[in-house]
Amino acid sequence: MNKKANTWVFILIATVFNVVVTAGLFIGLFVLYVRLFMPLLPDGSQQWAFLVIFVLAIVLGFLVYRLAMKIFMKKVNVDDKFAPIFGNRRPRNRLD
C-alpha cells in the first residue's frame, strides 16, 4: 500500500479505536455508578450522574487515545509510512 492508503487506513482504525475505548469507558463508569453510588444518592441525581459519566468517558477516552498515539508515534516512523493529510504547511512561492 502507498502512503496515502496507509494514512486513510490509520485514520479509520484510530477512529474506531477511539469510539470503542470511549464506549467501553462509558459502560464501565455506568456500571460502577449503578453498583456503588446509585443506592447512596437520592433519586433525582441520576440525570446529573448520567451527564457526568458521559463527559468523564469522553475526557478519559481522549486521554487514553492521546497516550496510545504517543506510544504509536514512538514505535513507528510516521514520516516514512504516512502521507500528510492537509498537504504542506509551508506556503509555495508563486510567481504571479
User: What's at 48, amino acid-wise?
Assistant: W
Closest CA relative to residue 18, chosen from 8, 26, 7, 30: 26
Choose the most confident range, by mean pLDDT, from 1-5, 39-43, 71-75, 76-80: 71-75
Overall pTM surpassing 0.95 (yes/no): no
Q: How confident is the model at residue 91 (pLDDT cuts 50, 70, 90)?
A: low
pLDDT in tens, 12-68: 999 999 999 999 999 999 999 999 988 888 888 888 999 999 999 999 999 999 999
